[in-house]
Amino acid sequence: MTGRLIHSLATTEPLAQLFSDESVLAAMLEFEVALARAEARAGVIPQAAADAIATSTKTENFDTTALANATLRAGTPAIPLVKTLTESVRKNNPDAARFVHWGATSQDVADTGMSLLLKRAQPILLGDLQRLEQALRHLSEQHAKTVMLGRTLMQPAPPVTLGLKAAGWLGSIHRAHCALADAFSNATILQFGGASGTLASLGSQGISVANELARQLGLGNPEAPWHTHRDRWAAMICACGVLTGSLGKMARDISLLMQNEVAESSEPGGDGRGGSSTMPHKRNPIACSLTLAASHRVPALVASCLSAMVQEHERGVGGWQAEWPIMADTIRATGLAIASMAEVAEGLSVDAERMRSNIEKTNGVIFAERAMMLLGSKLGRDVAHRVLEQATKKCAAENRHLRDVLAEISEVTAHFDTTTLEQLEIPEQYLGAAEDFRKALLSASASSTQNFKEEQ
Amino acid sequence: MTGRLIHSLATTEPLAQLFSDESVLAAMLEFEVALARAEARAGVIPQAAADAIATSTKTENFDTTALANATLRAGTPAIPLVKTLTESVRKNNPDAARFVHWGATSQDVADTGMSLLLKRAQPILLGDLQRLEQALRHLSEQHAKTVMLGRTLMQPAPPVTLGLKAAGWLGSIHRAHCALADAFSNATILQFGGASGTLASLGSQGISVANELARQLGLGNPEAPWHTHRDRWAAMICACGVLTGSLGKMARDISLLMQNEVAESSEPGGDGRGGSSTMPHKRNPIACSLTLAASHRVPALVASCLSAMVQEHERGVGGWQAEWPIMADTIRATGLAIASMAEVAEGLSVDAERMRSNIEKTNGVIFAERAMMLLGSKLGRDVAHRVLEQATKKCAAENRHLRDVLAEISEVTAHFDTTTLEQLEIPEQYLGAAEDFRKALLSASASSTQNFKEEQ
Amino acid sequence: MTGRLIHSLATTEPLAQLFSDESVLAAMLEFEVALARAEARAGVIPQAAADAIATSTKTENFDTTALANATLRAGTPAIPLVKTLTESVRKNNPDAARFVHWGATSQDVADTGMSLLLKRAQPILLGDLQRLEQALRHLSEQHAKTVMLGRTLMQPAPPVTLGLKAAGWLGSIHRAHCALADAFSNATILQFGGASGTLASLGSQGISVANELARQLGLGNPEAPWHTHRDRWAAMICACGVLTGSLGKMARDISLLMQNEVAESSEPGGDGRGGSSTMPHKRNPIACSLTLAASHRVPALVASCLSAMVQEHERGVGGWQAEWPIMADTIRATGLAIASMAEVAEGLSVDAERMRSNIEKTNGVIFAERAMMLLGSKLGRDVAHRVLEQATKKCAAENRHLRDVLAEISEVTAHFDTTTLEQLEIPEQYLGAAEDFRKALLSASASSTQNFKEEQ
Amino acid sequence: MTGRLIHSLATTEPLAQLFSDESVLAAMLEFEVALARAEARAGVIPQAAADAIATSTKTENFDTTALANATLRAGTPAIPLVKTLTESVRKNNPDAARFVHWGATSQDVADTGMSLLLKRAQPILLGDLQRLEQALRHLSEQHAKTVMLGRTLMQPAPPVTLGLKAAGWLGSIHRAHCALADAFSNATILQFGGASGTLASLGSQGISVANELARQLGLGNPEAPWHTHRDRWAAMICACGVLTGSLGKMARDISLLMQNEVAESSEPGGDGRGGSSTMPHKRNPIACSLTLAASHRVPALVASCLSAMVQEHERGVGGWQAEWPIMADTIRATGLAIASMAEVAEGLSVDAERMRSNIEKTNGVIFAERAMMLLGSKLGRDVAHRVLEQATKKCAAENRHLRDVLAEISEVTAHFDTTTLEQLEIPEQYLGAAEDFRKALLSASASSTQNFKEEQ
């Protein structure tokens, strides 16, 4: 077997199978059968020929290693495929052999084969996205009031809620989800143009054959062949890129929260997942690491896809030939990232107490901004600033809380009673619009998902 | 001056000015003024303070080199900007100084400043796209019947029309245009979240200030701050990537057609463009080369933008700091590619005779497929194949036309009369659905453009 | 089978096999056996345990699909591999089972396994490079005097020789070859550090075990483990990137020369290569297209490899997990590009007459520079410029040769005799230092190759 | 001014100035002056012409914005530059004007200009690297015995020393440093080939002029012009890529150590650096973030550089035109990353107590591997494993140390005395070969640096 193990951290099993030799071969044969049927229906070739072709496509009869090597010689999978299929048909029905691949060009079968694979990838990726979003929505609702440190430049900042954080992940993943769903619709289309993209060899019947062919395959039928206009596939790869970026952000956050020193949250373990035989309590951020691996690879795959768009005239020299591994690797990596983060979101463990205690450990200096706002209105900003500068230095030096240090400063106590100072460091009192933002994000994600479902 | 010359093949003048120090500075100051006004309206700060701030933002007062260097120290342009602005305000109105940047965080002004710049980039890019599409539509209509060689893998193939070729360029550019217009709408939004993205320091007034601020700046107001959720900008950069790929394809085609040995078409000269003092008739593919340069650079810019999406918690360490040059370089390169190809499309010279004579020079072997279809139905495919194999070899060896060689073969003449053979190599008779496809592409491009215009 | 077909235009068969599941598995098992032997020799584990481990590594006993899926769960191939190997050893020798993988960490076996694969890739890639360089050297010598058009911006320019062109290809490929050979030497090294890269669990014997282990595996032994210092692998991937760029340049040139309108040269056909059943004389640039496909993909693979270098502390979260497919894809694509261009260089057909006639067809305007130099010294540059501007315009308008047009201008004939004008357009007389440059390039390539051979 | 501010987080001031309009212009003019002098010396042009040219190159006379815009029209900076220079010379010496740029082509001046800029970049980058390495060497020596947690997948692992960690950073940076120094040597070379790269217009004097020209400019003189063979520049950009990756790894590590929850180390503050007005004790990882920003951007710049290597025939269409901003952006970003990490290494603050207490906080479970090794030899691995699994679970559940939990297990106490258990968690006793590795890394870095210095 080739390349399953070396890509083992780069694909899920269903997506590995989707791009397996059998699956790729079957997709191309599906095109040939549907083509013959569509042409028979249009009277372009005999029905008997179409029938013979349809019964000659057992993938077992094809030697995929030989096919791969012949593909390399021919520069396209279609030439050896059609040759083998023609031999196979000839055994069933010699007259039918001449009608194999009638009127099509190599790129027609290769591109349409890939479109069929993409169509099968679509529910896998979008299904896992639904799971992921549902889990994030649940997480966000459940932790609407769970306070935790905000962290800017990985340094402590005023508090947020885990609910808001999860809603932020959800928002960006949902937007990417919608874009990916659209991109899939646009990208899963028929390619059928014949040698120069004019369907000249089918005379006046080209378009009706194309319509029927698209119908049979369940693919969209574009206005015209797109042999060297790859924007729709490129847009789909880009959508994968943006999505993987958003997933990578979520994975980075969680892997940071999983640090022993932070210990606020953890991806789920179990089922051979990231354990350590000697440290059974330990959970490694395996799913996060796989997602982050994808977010290292997918941007570059996007770049090579975009770079390969520059294709010459009616068939490209190099650009087209680069596409298959780019497409497959991107779909596999993106699918793995989605599946990984769905698993993480569904099983995320949260230590709300630790979140609160990590806030506590900052000695309240994250509320210095709040204190400044309060003091400033009484003392003037300049004085307030000086007071706070000294106070926070003292907090750090003496490992004491800001509220306690401030309580010893006469300029402060002159204006504030004990209660105000005592409440200074209560996270719940300094969340601003966090809950409004959280709800707005959930609402934006929910409504469009509904639309999206209806569309499907 | 810094970097204008080294980027001289990477930007147009208007886009160079858009990202000039003055323009960037002005955009950030525009945020600060609008913030103060919005906060004054909400009663968060005194109206007098807002007025003082609004009158303290003459860009001449700012030393942009010093600002750039202080930005490097601070890790954000906002800190030195606010410091300088505060000094400036203090001179006008000491009390107002403390209200500069009230409640905002560094990233709020930096991101919103970039959003404002993107908003100004939008009509520049989309305007040139309109010109380009109009020119391509005209070109396609004008040359609906101009036949030329199809070329697959840069080798001769059955004929197409220039009208179809131009329609193909138009189709992919138009689709990318629509995507870019959408992406701009989504990307030109306010950033306003304060330290941790909760607007905590504004208490209950955060959201109303945000609404007013967005309104004043003419930017969209997202559901929530997006300090570390960069998908909307990334999607815009991706849209630039796909568009530049489509433009690069057009540029590659035209640069190939401009080769002296092909000489079917040429980008316009004039106005210092690609001339040669000693070879005044010569036209270099300057605009094409600039476009292709963009299509070498933009894919990688997309990749770095996607890679930078992985940003930590509430403010990223590295990802965010990478964005400005990525955004500016992408917009500039894309804008240059659009403008270049608009100029090319508007002034493209076409040598229809040479196109026909290049077809002629293939000795009709590009019609071998056509002959095969004709002969196959009479002789059976196997015989037809053998006959044509010999005939085309003879064409090559003796530099003769396929129709003439076939006319000497008795198996052929037994089934075909002279007229059929004489018409074998008439390009117009072997265009299949070219005109249907051309019209469909134009129609698809036209209709959506109208929608797009209405939306604006 | 997985992924052979989808990568069929992205690898040669030997490199497909190198990264096959069996080969990857065998490489990791080779590490485990050598580790056990080295530890037995150092007295760390019993010799009997090492023997039992060595006899328990039949790759047939491993279910590679199951291994791949368990790898995904564990986040590393090592955990399930060691588990399975331990079971296998336990059957042979229960006591030995506990000594499997003794003192090593997951990354030790995964990285060293890849190093072993790279070591096997090395002679494949470098061997094909030797062939390629030899063929280019031969081509350059053979065509030292074959004149052809220089082409700048794909427009006609003063002549060069094919010998110089081939020497230019050789020069850049040779430099990249030397760099790649160095990079392979640095990259094919042992990884052995244990959990934190200190070999702590081996106490004082860590370094002696490491030395013996490297010796057994035939790998270099670095100063220290490099779990999160990936520069040596990254440098090797970069060397592949530069080489593929140089190969892509050669492929682009040849694909342009193969155009029907140019027809100066062609890559070899035969053996299922790029033929067309109906146009048997036709040769598609298949090898060139595969090479150009590689040069679309490898730059992005390099980028993802470099991006993945940012690995955390003693084991990375995402960066490391991204590497295997990047490494394998790069080696495969580079190897395919080398093999393709070796085949092209060895079988390149050259039409020297057509090269000369393409020069002829420019009507001598490519010698306008030469005429300018000659005329300028007599007439002054300003007058000469005006004369030539008119003359070259006339050449274009009337399709006449520059020498003939100049012969009618009295200012010219006043200073030049017929012979001078007649010789104006002789390419051989306007080659400048072409032959010196050619020889210098060959000499630079030859000498270092010798050094390189001696080193091996 | 253009682009200084938008790139303010992407360059240091010296590198901003290196690629300023003045500097770029001056470099190209330096070429023209040296060319004239070399040609005068060879008798190709009059000495008086060379003198006139040398006195006509005041950069103040050039309007760089106009030059930039004319460059865009011409597709190369050389055409408008030469035009303006010629006008300027004409004013001084009308006869000399015709000898400006004699025998050179556009790309000669543009490429050589860039080579001159690279030569000036070299000491800036390499100088900062020397500082960085020296600081890391010092840091490593100083903290040879400072123990800290190893961290794998950002989870606690057996201890390392900060000395080893710093030595690891040093090792990879030093290797990249050596590679970059080599790459600079190869890349800072003359470009001089004339129109087609044959120096035809200089007749037999081309090579002697080239030699003299290289000598005057202090640049290497390659075997032949390299207009479309860009491997030496690409290799330099790759070397920047690998280096930036290694710097990014160091920056990531330090930014993680700076987290409030970890607090083991911090980059220096001061001088406008990353402070916060309200939290004066706070230090943001500004230098780390700038370095990480570079490591997001440079990989993609490398990719675009490699992609642009595919240049056509004797002058590229798109690839060449893409290079300048790629080169400048890469050098600037790399230089900023080096300077940032040099500053960090020189001023890094280390909290060795916190490092030790973070080890302590793991409750000794990071020594489970050590305990396993000890117990396994007495109890057999299976029993030992079961015992440790239970013990570590208990540690986590009861927040107790491993040594204490083990001390309560009879199977353990049967074999181990109190001292052994008490010493189980002493980090210094479980460092394996850390110090050997550290010394080996320092030694490898030191020796080659010496060689490198001698070479300079």
- Is some CB atom of chain B closer than 8 A to the CB atom of D116? no
- Our CA-based measurement puts residue B87 at a distance from the nearest CA of chain A, in whole angstroms, of 13
**Chain B residue with Cα closest to C396:** B281
Identity of the residue in C262, C274, C366 whose CB atom sits nearest the CB atom of B261: C262
User: Three-state SS across chain C?
Assistant: CECCCCCCCCCCHHHHHHCEHHHHHHHHHHHHHHHHHHHHHCCCCCHHHHHHHHCCCCHHHCCHHHHHHHHHHHCCCHHHHHHHHHHHHHHHCHHHHCCCCCCCCHHHHHHHHHHHHHHHHHHHHHHHHHHHHHHHHHHHHHCCCCEEEEEECCEEEEEEEHHHHHHHHHHHHHHHHHHHHHHHHHHCECCCCCCCCCCHHHHHHHHHHHHHHHHHHCCECCCCCCCCCCHHHHHHHHHHHHHHHHHHHHHHHHHHHCCCCCCCEECCCCCCCCCCCCCCCCCCCHHHHHHHHHHHHHHHHHHHHHHCCCCCCCECCCCHHHHHHHHHHHHHHHHHHHHHHHHHHHHCEECHHHHHHHHHCCCCHHHHHHHHHHHHHHHCHHHHHHHHHHHHHHHHHHCCCHHHHHCCCHHHHCCCCHHHHHHCCCHHHHCCCHHHHHHHHHHHHHHHHHHHHHHC
* Mean per-residue pLDDT over chain A, rounded: 93
Q: Would you call A64 and C21 a contact, using CB atoms and an 8 Å cutoff?
A: no
Chain C residues in contact with B393 (beta carbon < 8 A): 280-281
B315 a catalytic residue: yes
Give the span between the Cα atoms of D359 and D366, in whole angstroms.
Answer: 8
> Is-contact B170 A403, C-beta < 8 A?
no
Helix crossing, D323-347 with D231-257: angle to 10°?
Answer: 30
Per-residue model confidence (pLDDT) at position C454 = 43
* pLDDT given for residue C398 in this prediction: 94
Residue B379's pLDDT band (cuts 50, 70, 90): confident
Question: From the CA of D308, how many Å to the nearest CA of chain B?
Answer: 6
Q: Which two tokens stand for residue B321?
A: 């700091």
Contact A151, D284 (CB under 8 A): no
Indicate whether this complex's ipTM tops 0.90. yes
pLDDT digits (tens, 9 = 90+) for B174-196: 999 999 999 999 999 999 999 99
- Residues 51-70 of chain A whose Cβ lies under 8 A from any Cβ of chain C: 64-65, 67-70
pLDDT tens for each residue of A91-122: 999 999 989 999 999 999 999 999 999 999 99
Helices and strands counted in chain A (H then E): 18, 4
Mutate: best of D198, D246, D288, D326, partner C, most C CBs <10 A:
D198
pLDDT on residue D377: 78
Average pLDDT over residues A416-427: 92
* Closest CB from D4, D271, D297 relative to B65: D4
- Residue numbers in A near C258 (CB within 8 A): none
What's the token pair of residue D29?
A: 């003019």
CB contact under 8 A, D362 and A260: yes
Among A266-275, A418-427, B441-450, the range with the most confident prediction by mean pLDDT is A418-427
Interface test with D, best of C152, C155, C301 (most D CBs within 10 A): C152
Average of per-residue pLDDT across B287-298: 98
Strands B147-152 and A349-350: unpaired
β-pair partners for A152: A155, B315
pLDDT of residue A454: 43
- In the stretch 359-388 of chain A, residues with CB closer than 8 A to chain B read 369-370, 373, 376, 380-382
Is any Cβ of chain B less than 8 angstroms from the Cβ of C433? no
Task: Give the residue, A67 or A416, on which the prediction is more confident.
Answer: A67
Of the candidates C157, C248, C381, which has its C-beta nearest D98's C-beta?
C381
Using an 8 Å CB-CB cutoff, list chain D residues near A307. 307
Q: In the annotation, is B73 catalytic?
A: no
Distance from CA of C361 to the nearest CA of B (A): 9
Stronger pLDDT, D281 or A153, i.e. the higher one: A153
Q: Do D261 and A153 touch (CB under 8 A)?
A: no
Residue among A256, A260, A305, A363 with most chain D CBs within 10 A, to mutate: A260
Determine the residue of chain A that is closest to B168 in CA distance. Answer: A229
Q: How far apart are CA B241 and CA A306, in angstroms?
A: 6
Q: Least CB-CB distance to A75: which of C290, C316, C321?
A: C290
**Would you tell me which residues 13-42 of chain B have a C-beta closer than 8 angstroms to some C-beta of chain D?**
13, 16-17, 19-22, 24-25
Place B79 in a pLDDT band, splitting at 50, 70 and 90. Answer: very high
What is the full per-residue pLDDT of chain D (456 aa) written as tens digits?
568 999 999 999 999 999 999 999 999 999 999 999 999 999 999 999 999 999 999 888 899 999 999 999 999 999 999 999 999 999 999 999 989 999 999 999 999 999 999 999 999 999 999 999 999 999 999 999 999 999 999 999 999 999 999 999 999 999 999 999 999 999 999 999 999 999 999 999 999 999 999 999 999 999 999 999 999 999 999 999 999 999 999 999 999 999 999 999 999 987 677 555 555 556 899 999 999 999 999 999 999 999 999 999 999 999 999 999 999 999 999 999 999 999 999 999 999 999 999 999 999 999 998 998 888 878 877 788 889 989 998 998 999 999 999 999 998 999 888 898 999 999 999 999 999 999 999 999 986 544 444 444
The minimum CA-CA distance between A6 and chain C, rounded to whole Å, is: 6
Which residues of chain A make contact with D158, given a CB cutoff of 8 A?
A: none
Which residues sit opposite C220 in a β-bridge? C189
Cβ contact A195–B158 (<8 Å): yes
How many A/B residue pairs have CB atoms within 8 Å?
A: 324
Mean pLDDT, chain C, whole residue set: 93
Q: In chain B, positions 206-235, which contact chain A (CB-CB < 8 Å)?
A: 206-207, 223-226, 228-232, 234-235
- Kindly report, residue by residue over C338-373, the tens digit of the pLDDT: 999 999 999 999 999 999 999 999 999 999 989 988
Q: Which residues of A are catalytic?
A: 276, 315
Q: Which chain C residue is nearest to residue B397, measuring alpha carbons?
A: C281
* Residues on chain A touching D283 (C-beta within 8 angstroms): 155
Would the CB atoms of A3 and C8 count as touching at under 8 Å? no
Q: Which residue among D153, D277, D281 places its CB closest to the CB of A285?
A: D153
Residue B358 is nearest to which of C261, C283, C299, comparing CB atoms?
Answer: C261
Catalytic residue among D315, D332, D403, D438: D315
User: DSSP character for C42?
Assistant: T
Residue contact B200–A158, C-beta within 8 A: yes
Closest B-chain CA to C372: B278
pLDDT band at residue B89, thresholds of 50, 70 and 90? very high
List of chain C residues with pLDDT < 70: 1-2, 271, 274-282, 447-456
CA R_g for chain B: 30
Chain B residues with CB-CB distance to A197 below 8 A: 150, 160, 164, 168, 437
Q: Which of residues 278-307 of D touch B (CB under 8 A)?
A: 284-286, 288-297, 299-301, 303-304, 307
Residue A133 in this model has a pLDDT that exceeds 50:
yes
Q: Which of B4, B8, B215, B276 is catalytic?
A: B276
Q: Which residues of B touch D317 (CB under 8 A)?
A: 255, 285, 288-289, 292
Q: Is pLDDT at B54 greater than 70 in this prediction? A: yes
